[in-house]
A = this chain, B = another copy of it.
Amino acid sequence: MDRHGYELPLQLAAAFRRIIDELHHRLAAEGHPNLRPAYGFALQAVGNDGCTVSDLGRRLGVSKQAATKTATKLADLNYVTRTPSPTDARAVLLTLTPHGHNALTRSAQIFETLHAEWKTALGPTRLAALEDALPKLTPSSRPTPLSDLPGWFH
C-alpha cells in the first residue's frame, strides 16, 4: 500500500523537470529558442525594475563573478542591457530589453496555461490540495531562497 520513501523525491524531480522542459519548449516556439532554464531564473531575478550585477548575484545566491558571467550571457543574447548607474559610478545597471520583457510575459502566460492544464488533469480540488500539501512536506525553516538551483547538484 505505502509507497517507498525514495519515490516521492523522484516524482518531484520528474514533475519539475517536465514542467520546465515544457515551458522552454513553448518559449522556443514563441521566439525564445536560446533561453535556457538557468537564464530564465536569472531573467526573473533581474525583473522589470532591473538591478545591478551584485544584486543579481545576491538574488541568485551566487558570487558576483558568476553574476557577471550570467549578465554577459544575457546581454549577448539581447535579453538585458548593461548601462552605467547614474547614481553610483561603480555600478552597472542591468535592464530588460524588449526581448527580455517579452520573455517574462510569455513565461507568465505559459505558466497560466499550464496551470489551467493541471487543473483539467487533476481537477481543481486535487490541484489545490497538491499546492497546499507541498510547502508542508518539509519543515521549511528558512523562507527557501528559491535560488542556487543550478550548480546545487554538484
Contacts and interface: CB of A to CB of B under 8 A. Distances in A.
A7, A17, A107, A129: most-surrounded residue (chain B CB, <10 A) = A17
Copies in the complex: 2
Given A112-B4, A134-B12, A154 B149 contact: no
B4 A115 contact: yes
B149 A17 contact: yes
Given A153-B38, A154-B36, A16 B9 contact: yes
A152 B17 contact: yes
A138 B12 contact: no
Interface stretch (A52-60, A91-99, A118-126): A118-126
A153 B8 CA distance: 20
A113 interface: yes
